Amino acid sequence: MSEPPAWPSGIADDHTPIEYSVAFNESEPDRLTLRILGEALDTVPSATTNMSAARRFIQAQAGRFGLAVSRFDQVNELFATDDPRGDFGLWHSMVFRPGRRPEFKVYFNPEVKGVHRAPGLVAEALRRLGLEKSYDTALEYAIRPGELGRDDRLTFFAVDLHDQPHARVKLYLSHYNAQARDVVRAARAVAGIEADEIAEFCALAGGGTVTFAGRPLVGSYTFLSGQDRPVGYSVYVPIRSYVRDDEQAYRRVTGLLERYGFDSGQLDRAIDAVARRPLRDGVGLIAHVSLRLGPPRPGVTVYLSAEAYRVDPPRPLLPSLAGEHPELRMAAVRPDPTIARSE
């Protein structure tokens, strides 16, 4: 786009107000889920007017698709303010699965009234939804001593806008200057999952990074009605901060997909749909990669930026592939069909 962004959206590094992701699911390995995260922008965008635009968007889609907004209505006013703080006010996502109607989710900003207010807002929101016991458990495992509101931040509070049995409430936490062991401990709040798998995932996605001192690791808990502790956990590695370029990110991600039994060719098609450059010519197209553990849909998700306004240049000073995790050095010798097609 020739014009600068109308609003500095925090969804993407270049302020594009959308992000794509493709989810690979253990239960349906041959069927991808497509998700689009977006920020509704007012005709005169500002932090306050964009929140109003987001609510209008949700109301319009509720009428069009018959969305269940009762839980949204229960907590909406908690996060409403005329003076929003933080990186955003209200985001939404649309989820597309083959043969099904689209599903919607909304993301509230727990820090919208200030960092110090976030724990109380989330506690009250979960109390209204009957999930307060789950919250206590999550904080017990996820927060490092003395770090709530400092290096451990409550980043997103998300609610599914449907009333199916698998409808979720999710809480996302950003862990600054964290190591894999910190998110492994956080994952142990969830019974019945292999929390130690997260350490290997972080090592592979991060190229052997020990302390994630750039963009933070993010963890999320899934809460379901009738449960007194979280039922699922996901870890999100901001891979773009720990690679030289998207060619390196691609090799790490395809190695992870193959490790978990998924067809990386499906990722190639997704990248082809959004990429406008060779992968080695920039960094940030492949923004995050996440591992989902526990119900409702365990698997791996890859997040792709539109790069509508800017492409960040490669980082030539990062370590070469020779210094990466051994499994990723092996993955690196495989040909990259995406690079060939994008040139």
pLDDT, tens only, 153-191: 999 999 999 988 778 999 999 999 999 999 999 999 999
Q: What is residue 331's predicted lDDT score, i.e. its pLDDT?
A: 38
What is the SS3 assignment for the chain? CCCCCCCCCCCCCCCCCEEEEEEEECCEEEEEEEEEEECCCCCCCCHHHHHHHHHHHHHHHHHHHCCCCHHHHHHHHHHCCCCCCCCCCEEEEEEECCCCCCEEEEEECCCCCCHHHHHHHHHHHHHHCCCHHHHHHHHHHHCCCCCECCCEEEEEEEEECCCCCCCCEEEEEEECCEEHHHHHHHHCCCCCCCCCHHHHHHHHHCCCCCEECCCCEEEEEEECCCCCCCCEEEEEECHHHHCCCHHHHHHHHHHHHHHCCCCHHHHHHHHHHHCCCCHHHCECCEEEEEEEECCCCCEEEEEEECCCCCCECCCCCCCCHHHCCHHHHHHHCCCCHHHHHHC
Write out the residue range of the structural domain in which residue 155 sits.
Answer: 18-342
Each residue of 91-148: pLDDT tens digit?
A: 999 999 988 899 999 999 999 999 999 999 999 999 999 999 999 999 999 999 999 9
Is 1 part of a structural domain of the chain? no
More confident residue, 252 or 2: 252
pLDDT band, very low/low/confident/very high, at 239 (cuts 50, 70, 90): very high
Q: What's the confidence (pLDDT) of residue 323?
A: 43
pLDDT in tens, 273-284: 999 999 999 999
The pTM for the full model equals 0.90
Any domain includes 10? no
Tell me what the mean pLDDT of segment 293-299 comes to.
89
User: How far is 323 from 328, CA to CA, in rounded Å?
Assistant: 10
- Residue 38 within any structural domain of the chain: yes
- Write out pLDDT tens, residues 8-38: 999 999 999 999 999 999 888 778 999 999 9
On whether residue 330 sits in a domain, the answer given is yes
Given this model, what pLDDT does residue 254 score? Answer: 98
Residue 229: its pLDDT value, please? 93
Q: What is the pLDDT of residues 203-224, one digit of tens each?
A: 999 999 999 999 999 999 999 9
pLDDT value of residue 274: 96
- Alpha carbon distance 203, 198 (integer Å): 9
Q: What residue type is assigned to position 335 of the chain?
A: P
Output the pLDDT for position 317.
61
Asked if residue 337 has pLDDT above 70, the reply is no
| 33 within some domain | yes
pLDDT value of position 28: 83
pLDDT at 330 over 50: no
pLDDT value, residue 2:
65
- Give the pLDDT score at 338: 32
Give tens-digit pLDDT for 53-88: 999 999 999 999 999 999 999 999 999 999 999 889
pLDDT mean over 309-333: 60
| Nearest Cα to Cα of residue 32 among 110, 96, 122 | 96
Does 4 reside within a domain?
A: no
Q: In total, how many domains does the chain have?
A: 1
Q: Is residue 7 part of a domain?
A: no
Per-residue pLDDT, 302: 99
User: What does the pLDDT average to over 263-271?
Assistant: 95
Let me know if residue 3 belongs to a domain: no
Model confidence at 339: pLDDT above 50: no
Identify the weakest region by mean pLDDT among 111-120, 257-266, 321-330.
321-330
Task: Please give the pLDDT value at position 23.
Answer: 97
The C-alpha atoms of residue 90 and residue 158 are separated, in whole angstroms, by: 10
